[in-house]
Amino acid sequence: MKKTRGLRNLWYSLSSNQRFFIRRLYYLPVDLFDTFKGKTNKYVPPRGLIYTGSSLNAKNYLKQGVNQLELLKDEINLLPNDTVLDIGCGIGRTAIALSSYLNKEGVYEGFDVVKKGIDWCDSRLGKDFSNFNFKYIPLFNDLYNGSNNSALDFIFPYDDNTFDKVFTFSVFTHMMLDEIQHYFKQIQRVITDEGLCFSTFFLYDSEDENYVATRKDFNFPVKGDDGFRLMNKNVKSGNIAIHKSKLDEMLKNAGLKKVKLIDGFWKNEVRDQSKREYQDVVVFKRK
């Protein structure tokens, strides 16, 4: 565990641009091989450009996006004609699957703090699907962006009561509590009265907090002072886990309420095959 933690700390000690460069260089040989063998897809980025989640080949990247789409259909009843907001859309993992699901009445809006992700999506999905829009938002995040702009000052660039469905995959695992609280208030503003939001988190309670802090490899050893734990004290956006009661409090403060919580399998030593998502899923809506 000490070796794993040491490597993680070394990785987090690098700047976001250094991490992007190293990832690109590391995957360059296999990306060239995939291109040579014709194992690429127009909408799927090379592995070296994938900065969120696993760097997968095109086939598995597409499969992962389809799995996310199925979760959205099952848990928040995502419909082909919905107007949807993808917060932290990354480099298109979910958007690719949605491009063949949303119909002409459906609208997709996505934003992210990493410009290369937005540029990739905009030049491919945005070009081919007129109802898909991607926005680059330069906000500070010590994992992804060194901008001076604070997420606390960011107002979502959408009108009130716009979206039928809102979702975030592994976004609130990389933000601090005050930033998440602000985003909750923005979600409450832009979602419709009957709309639903699907978000993933790393969650814990008093019974499993010690296990979460000390478990092998993937752990949160740094205790915050208000219901959260971190992987690394220097890169706070590296990963954050939130106490379940704290999350309930934050939703209430934003005028939202939890509809359901679905435990992921990230805390299982042996994967529970009945669980579909690695992270914990929370579905919520306006009060």
Q: Residue 62 falls within a domain, yes or no?
A: yes
Per-residue pLDDT averaged across 151-162, rounded? Answer: 97
Residue burial 15-54, b: 16+ Cβ < 10 Å; e: rest = ebeebbeebbeebeeebeebeeeeeeeebbbbbbbbbbee
Q: Is residue 37 part of a domain?
A: no
Element holding 254 (H helix, E strand): none
What is the domain range of residue 130? 56-286
Band (pLDDT 50/70/90 cuts) for residue 55 is confident
Q: Does residue 13 lie within any of the structural domains? A: no
Q: Express each pLDDT in 217-266 by its tens digit.
A: 899 999 998 999 999 888 888 899 999 999 999 999 999 999 999 999 99
**Is residue 47 domain-resident?**
no
Quote the pLDDT of residue 13: 73
1 in a structural domain = no
Q: Is residue 5 part of a domain?
A: no
Alpha-carbon span 27 to 23, nearest angstrom: 6
- DSSP per residue, 99-124: HTTS-TT-EEEEEES-HHHHHHHHHH
The token pair at 285 is 């809506």
- Greater confidence (70 vs 5) lies with 70
Residue pair 77/84 in contact by the 8 Å Cβ criterion: no
Q: Decide if pLDDT at 81 tops 90.
A: yes
Average pLDDT for 157-166: 98
CATH number of residue 221's parent domain: 3.40.50.150
**pLDDT of 84-116, one tens digit each?**
999 999 999 999 999 999 999 999 999 999 999
For residue 67, is it within any domain?
Answer: yes
pLDDT above 80 for 10: no
What DSSP state is assigned to residue 145?
B
Quick one: pLDDT at residue 18? 87
* Mean confidence (pLDDT) of the chain: 93
Cα dihedral sign, 158-163-169-172? positive
Burial of 234 (0-12, 13-18, 19+ CB in 10 A): exposed
Q: Side chain identity at 195, as an amino acid letter?
A: G
pLDDT over 80 at 12, yes or no: no
In a domain, 7, yes or no: no
Q: Is 43 helix (H, G, I), strand (E, B) or coil?
A: coil
Count of structural domains within the chain: 1
Mean pLDDT (whole number) for 12-41: 89
